[in-house]
Amino acid sequence: VVVRRLPIYARALEHLAAASERVISSGRLGALVGVSADQIRKDLSYFGEFGRKGAGYRVDALAATIRGILGLDQERRLAVVGLGRLGRALAAYPGFVDRGFRVVALFDRDPAVVGQEIASLRVLPMESLGEVLAREGVTVGIVAVPAEQAQAVTDLLVASGVRALLNYAPITVATPPSVRVGDVDPVVALQSLAYYLKAGEPSEQAS
Amino acid sequence: VVVRRLPIYARALEHLAAASERVISSGRLGALVGVSADQIRKDLSYFGEFGRKGAGYRVDALAATIRGILGLDQERRLAVVGLGRLGRALAAYPGFVDRGFRVVALFDRDPAVVGQEIASLRVLPMESLGEVLAREGVTVGIVAVPAEQAQAVTDLLVASGVRALLNYAPITVATPPSVRVGDVDPVVALQSLAYYLKAGEPSEQAS
DNA sequence: GTCTGTGAAAACATTCACAGCG
DNA sequence: CGCTGTGAATGTTTTCACAGAC
């Protein structure tokens, strides 16, 4: 749970550092990321003591510490599978590289797409996936294929040694417990939001 | 919390319906979505009694019930702001419409992008946002602009009456509590996954 | 026998409240 | 004073376990 908040703290700290802020209190950081000051202090204390009482946290030191906790000191190498519109957008996304990730391989099963150059990488055929992932040291996969192919692609990535993957396909993929999956179907996100839209529009008022 | 799982159940149920399954037990559904059978029964019992003891749940009836709970019986109209690579991919995403959402307006601040046609919608200038959202009955916004513009775009959407938004920008946006935000920065998702990658590779073994 | 619905127990996460450092 | 670190209290979510419907 804490681990899902740390990247958000890190992101805010990087913005603060870019704005030349040197020190921040749990209260101000909390306001920035929408979390209580208590929460931030608890989260951080779970990993050690980083603050100065009476002053706050040093922005750059804390950012570095969080990156360390998350293992972002080491660059992670990504493969994107499926180069439809979404896959292309991800492959070319400039926001990965300065935050610890680098896309190093692209795969698609469509022969018309294989061979294209996207973000200065050539799209490779699925058959080469295992070999290329091993050679390039890819540890994280991004699944951006249609639902029907998502499980097969996942199995292939898992078999090739990927240990975490981000799944954009609208389906829950099965993996062994040693492989972590992040689900990011935009429709699922929207549908949970939709629940809150109901309040305040139907005939019935809240009591 | 439950509300974040319901869309996943709904998604699985739709796949089951497409495969002509008529009835499903909490156990099988749980296996499909990676959740315990207990959990599913608790989640559903929170909203009423939908199952038949000894048999399970009727797939189509349960799917309809969940759609009702989430308010997906009514189609929600979306606006996409920012038509870079990601915005274009989202604007043209075919997966929205059969799951309760329809993109009805596109906005960008770049005059070179305004006027382009994407997914048979014309990109409109930011200035027209308030008026168009009101006219089109848009209740949900998708923010797909760079971090620097995300807060300003959010404010504009909120001022125009949007009640929920999905934020792809790498920044935490502030909104009044009446507006729900879903955060979907891919890098944040990857960074939490990265934490688990550390296990099993550094020098130290777990004890 | 299979599978739901649900209280009771356990685990987990958040908030409170305060001692203590700078 | 302001702000951190943390035990204790509270609240929430998950799991357990079992009674009852089919």
Asked if the Cβ–Cβ distance from A70 to B101 is below 8 Å, we say no
Q: In this predicted structure, what is the pLDDT of residue A207?
A: 36
For A8-62, write each residue's pLDDT tens digit. Answer: 999 999 999 999 999 999 999 999 999 999 999 999 999 999 999 999 999 999 9
The secondary structure of chain A, three-state, reads CHHHHHHHHHHHHHHHHHCCCCEECHHHHHHHHCCCHHHHHHHHHCCCCCCECCCEEEHHHHHHHHHHHHCCCCCEEEEEECCCHHHHHHHCCCCCHHHCEEEEEEEECCCCCCCCEECCEEEEEHHHHHHHHHHHCCCEEEECCCHHHHHHHHHHHHHCCCCEEEECCCCCCCCCCCCEEEECCHHHHHHHHHHHHHCCCCCCCCC
pLDDT at A200 over 80: no
Asked if the Cβ–Cβ distance from B86 to A101 is below 8 Å, we say no
pLDDT band at residue B59, thresholds of 50, 70 and 90?
very high
pLDDT at B89 over 80: yes
Q: In this predicted structure, what is the pLDDT of residue B204?
A: 47
Say how far A53 CA is from C18 C1', in Å: 14
Q: In this predicted structure, what is the pLDDT of residue A203?
A: 53
Which nucleotide is closest to B55, CA to C1'?
C3
pLDDT at B207 over 50: no
For A75-107, write each residue's pLDDT tens digit. Answer: 999 999 999 999 999 999 999 999 999 999 999
Lowest mean pLDDT among A127-131, B45-49, B135-139, B197-201: B197-201
Q: In this predicted structure, what is the pLDDT of residue B205?
A: 43
Protein-nucleic contacts, chain A 40-99 to strand D, CB < 7 Å: 41-42, 44-45, 49-57
Which chain A residue's Cα is nearest to B68? Answer: A195
Across the interface, which of B7, B147, B174 has its CB nearest the CB of A192?
B7
Candidates B83, B195, B198: best to mutate against A (most CBs of A within 10 A) is B195
**Bases along strand D below 7 A from a protein CB:** 1-7, 12-17, 20-22
Asked if the Cβ–Cβ distance from B69 to A7 is below 8 Å, we say no
Does the CB of A37 fall within 7 Å of any strand D atom?
yes
pLDDT at B157 over 50: yes
Asked if the Cβ–Cβ distance from B15 to A194 is below 8 Å, we say no
pLDDT at B202 over 80: no
Residues A92, A133: Cα–Cα separation, whole Å: 19
Does the CB of B3 fall within 7 Å of any strand D atom?
no
pLDDT band at residue B203, thresholds of 50, 70 and 90?
low
Q: What is the pTM assigned to this prediction?
A: 0.94
pLDDT at B201 over 80: no
B145, B70, B73, B76: which is closest to B106 by C-alpha?
Answer: B145
CB A26 within 8 A of CB B206: no
pLDDT band at residue B206, thresholds of 50, 70 and 90?
very low
Please state the rounded mean pLDDT for residues B31-45.
98
pLDDT at A2 over 90: yes
Say how far A3 CA is from C12 C1', in Å: 14
Asked if the Cβ–Cβ distance from A76 to B190 is below 8 Å, we say yes
| Mean pLDDT rounded to a whole number for chain A | 95
Say how far A44 CA is from D3 C1', in Å: 14
Candidates B118, B185, B187: best to mutate against A (most CBs of A within 10 A) is B187
- When comparing pLDDT for B207 and A198, which is higher? A198
Which chain B residue's Cα is nearest to A139? Answer: B197
Does the CB of A168 fall within 7 Å of any strand D atom?
no
